[in-house]
Structure 1
Amino acid sequence: MLPLLGGSPPGLEQPVPGLNLSWETIPARADDGALLGTLVWSALTSSAPGHQARPVLVVFNGGPGAASGWLQLGLLGPLQVALPVDGMSAASPVPMLRVADKGLGAQADMLFVDPLDTGFSRRDAAVAPGRVRSGPADGAYLARAVAVWLARHGRRNSPVILLGESFGAERAVAVAEHWLRHGPRVRLAGIVMVSQTVLNETDLRQTDRLQALAMGLPTIAATACHYGRSRAAPRDPLACADAAAELAQGPYLRALRRGTVPSRLVDRLARLTGLGRNALRRASPAIDRQQARLTMLHGQGLALGLYDSRRAAQLDDPRGWRDPSLAPLVPALGLAMQRYNQRLLGLARSPVDGTGYVLYNPEVRRTWRGEGPGSARRSVGGYALADRLGAVLRRSRADLLLASGVFDSVGGYGADRVLADRLALPPGRVSIAGYRAGHMLYLDGASRAAFLLRLSAFVARVGGSSQDTPA
């Protein structure tokens, strides 16, 4: 095993004046204090006078099995991956890095969390994967490790904002719950969920199938609008998604629960989705988002991407159908993250075992026990995570920001609306933002810029508040 070191070697470029990106190791420990592995995390911090009062943004990605490199390269890191402006053209297999023109460094310090067996973090060889690959175990050891980082840097009293993407939103709930139940006392000021899966179509189908199907209507409408199939006006994907969301949670869901869709509603659905009346009648009466994604361009021999329905792939690919909105990104961003780590941290290999940075580890997801989206979580119930989130927000008095892309068929803009209604918090405590993008909404240039403005305002509001009741 290589020696465990920390910091950034002198002479490395720090592209954001007044801020420093450095790395350190933190032990991952079980409830009984046993060592589970070694976490290698980086943080973008300020050393200016009074920096302890700055908010701390704790950043998780999802998967399970994804490292924080996605959010560093796409949204929050000092170097950003240069992708096509429209988010649709093919990305270079070796994308360039550029200095981020805007970020949150002026407002908040950022801790980038890579769970065990992702990034440079490594599980101890004597620890079985099952000990760390479940929602409760993952949330517990990460909550303890974040608390160690906060104490180590004198930030126990700083306002903390948890930002989780996709399954990382579920991880944020688990971490916050652990602090509330077991300590330490952390000043939880806000939670940001990007393309959340706390309430998702796949799981909700087991307990409320009709609501799950209705949640997908905004994605179908936005996608139809993008491909020129929607007859709704205005023909803007976000406007189509908003119109579909209102319809989905009103007349459409009521009709689904009655078991019959009246003719006038079929006409409205046909205009929004571009689907013919006969196809809508065959849906009997619900429209399946995943089926629509696979059949909308079927006549052209194409299937639409799961993570971004604006991308399509040939169904007769000899390698088998591969999601065009994800498959090309993993190797490209993996190479970009290698250069990012080398340039900013001086790390080409993990200081734990000498292996390379793992942007996404499919083995973690494959062996996850009962908590990942679409896994064996069925016994928990489709609304259980949403209700746990509500309990966290009420007890901590933290605010919530939900953000998603309207072309996302993993999370989804419709799900955010239903989640906000389910939480039933006072006005102003939950805000929703939708973008003309897919699951990784920050990889679309215009959406990244707009979301950063929204995120900046959220951080300024909750991070600068006088909230003094810690979690």
Structure 2
Amino acid sequence: MNTRLIGALAAASLIALSAPMAAPLAAQDEGSAKSEATQIDPQVKTRKLSGTFGGQRIDYTATIGETILKSDEGNPEAVIVTTSYVKDPRDTSRPVFFIYNGGPGSGSVWLQMGAFGPKRVAIPSDARDDGAPPYPIVDNPESLLDVADLVFIDPPGTGYSYLTKGTDPKKYYGLRQDARAVAEVIRRWINDNGRWNSPKYLGGESYGTTRTAMVVDELEGSTYNDVALNGLILISTILDFAMREPTPGNEMAYVVTLPNMATAAWYHGVIEGESAEAVAEEARAFALGPYASALLKGQDIGPQEFAAVRDRMAQLTGLSPEYLEQANLRVTSQRFYKELLRDRGLTIGRLDARYTGRDYDNAGEYPDNDPSFYGIDAGYTAAINQWARETLGYETDRGYNSIGRDPGRNWDWTLGGFGRGAYLNVAPFIGQAMRQNSDLRTFVAQGWYDFATPFFGAELSLNRYGIPQDRLSWHYYDAGHMMYIRDEDRAKLSADIRAFIKAR
């Protein structure tokens, strides 16, 4: 072989050997740059404030901050915003209450600016529309800061919290996925604030009660890093989803909403009764007895029994016997909202049946919208943005998702191989936690006029075997889903939970 050919082959070998080495170096440099570019410096803003809560003058530190949840590779996937209120000077023996709302997709604005935060938005207490701004943001003497430090959590996709670009929503939007994220945020807050030995309370509203059942399972039931809890606080409870919406063949949803129909009819003066509580008790007895029996008999029910059930149902709901007969004794909540006050040209609310609205016309089966939601939403959104941005100093171009669409659209409702369409019931997680933690107590708050999470459904789901009844406490309010909108009930809810925390 001549020397020229040998030299060419050697040069080619050198190029071949050097090229593979250059590629990994280039990829490594590119990956490092990408990793650095995707790192997020968490924002934390702190303010020293004071107020009077539960009759006590208290200095406290308000902190709005971001917790970054990362992938196994260390890349940021979710930015979770928490707002905490901690009494000064810090006392690690004080209880801490972790709070969120529901949805899924709802930010913590409702409980923070409506019930338990140091400030609240003042909207009409008597089921009137909140109108247009400005909405007063006032001191909230009913805040629980006198008995517990408060940590409001906006789960992924709610409030100011968000998933980073490229993050698969399936990793965070779901029963178990969401609970893992919230549990991780709670552990991080406990660790960062030195609160491992503080009494701990966990709770939320609506789907937030579902989340509570899932999070307590993450904190106490399925991890080596156990966080024991002192109390669960369930506000407007939904645990058993078979009771939520009627489908052909599922009669339980009709059974659990009938007492709500009775209390709503009583409130609007369509039927007579001593009180909402008394009417509810009559309706419960009828719903579990003659009504449930009639529905389960299906087409085997005789004409006399049908007529007797129809007439008694008419007395309790205010609907005409003719309407009930046409509906085969099965009236959906949506139909009831439209039908109850049709003769007055009004519909009633889903979240709070005290509210009324006027549709485009008085025909049709269903209302155009929920007057108990559009009657309150603007005031709360304005309040949280002003409080977080202007008072606490949080800086962001993102809007506050009071009700975020993405979580709901992408939510994974499956649990242990069983889907929402089959039978979803998370109440057993609460029973298991209470059985395995002898000090764990559960507080349940329900509004008489709440069709979103009916009080009778909450009662039936928590009355099942396996849930210690002696550590359950029940409290009822003369409003709907968000009972704290009514001034008297906000004060009562605060006093009830204050007593629950003190009773430990």
TM-score, normalised by the number of residues in structure 2: 0.81
CA deviations on 1:419-454 (whole Å, 9 max, x unpaired) are 221255334211222212111111111111111111
User: How many percent identity over aligned positions?
Assistant: 26
Matched, 1:193 2:240: no
CA deviations on 1:266-325 (whole Å, 9 max, x unpaired) are 44332221123333333323443332222112334433222112222223179x922211
Structure 2 counterpart of 1:154, from 179, 185, 194: 194
Corresponding position of 1:437:
479
Corresponding position of 2:46:
8
Matched, 1:331 2:369: no
Does the 8 A contact of 1:116 with 1:122 survive in 2?
Answer: yes
Deviation at 1:47, TM superposition (A): 3.4
CA deviations on 1:387-420 (whole Å, 9 max, x unpaired) are 2332233223422122121211110111121122
- Give the aligned residue type for 2:349: G
Corresponding position of 2:94:
54
Give SS of 2:44's match: coil
Does the 8 A contact of 2:130 with 2:378 survive in 1?
Answer: no
- Inter-CA distance 432–96: structure 2 relative to 1 (3 Å threshold): same
Matched, 1:284 2:323: no
- Give the aligned residue type for 1:41: T
Does the 8 A contact of 1:199 with 1:419 survive in 2?
Answer: yes
Corresponding position of 1:44:
85
Matched, 1:118 2:161: no
Aligned residues: 448
Point out where structure 1 has 5 or more consecutive residues left out of the alignment: 465-471
CA deviations on 1:233-257 (whole Å, 9 max, x unpaired) are 21x3333223212332234323333
5 Å matches for 1:51-450? 51-179=91-219, 180-200=221-241, 203=244, 205=246, 209-231=250-272, 233-234=273-274, 236-259=275-298, 260=301, 261=305, 263-316=307-360, 321-347=368-394, 349-350=395-396, 354-370=397-413, 377-382=419-424, 384-397=425-438, 398-450=440-492
Does the 8 A contact of 1:57 with 1:161 survive in 2?
Answer: yes
Deviation at 1:194, TM superposition (A): 0.9
- Inter-CA distance 226–201: structure 2 relative to 1 (3 Å threshold): farther
CA deviations on 1:89-109 (whole Å, 9 max, x unpaired) are 544443111101222111111
Measure, in 1, the Cα distance between the counterparts of 2:455 and 2:319.
20
Does the 8 A contact of 2:431 with 2:468 survive in 1?
Answer: no
Does the 8 A contact of 1:60 with 1:172 survive in 2?
Answer: no
Deviation at 1:265, TM superposition (A): 4.5
RMSD of aligned alpha carbons:
2.7
Deviation at 1:31, TM superposition (A): 7.2
- Give the aligned residue type for 1:307: L
Does the 8 A contact of 2:435 with 2:468 survive in 1?
Answer: no
- Give the aligned residue type for 1:5: Q
Give SS of 1:48's match: coil
Measure, in 1, the Cα distance between the counterparts of 2:164 and 2:243.
33
Give SS of 2:463's match: helix
Give SS of 1:321's match: coil
Measure, in 1, the Cα distance between the counterparts of 2:75 and 2:237.
31
Corresponding position of 1:467:
none
Matched, 1:457 2:499: yes
- Give the aligned residue type for 1:108: A
- Inter-CA distance 26–380: structure 2 relative to 1 (3 Å threshold): farther
Does the 8 A contact of 1:203 with 1:378 survive in 2?
Answer: no
Deviation at 1:80, TM superposition (A): 1.0
Measure, in 2, the Cα distance between the counterparts of 1:214 and 1:112.
35
- Give the aligned residue type for 1:362: R
Point out where structure 2 has 5 or more consecutive residues left out of the alignment: 1-38, 53-57
Does the 8 A contact of 1:302 with 1:315 survive in 2?
Answer: yes
Corresponding position of 1:468:
none
The structure whose RCO (Cα within 8 Å, separation 6+) is larger is 1
Does the 8 A contact of 1:173 with 1:388 survive in 2?
Answer: yes
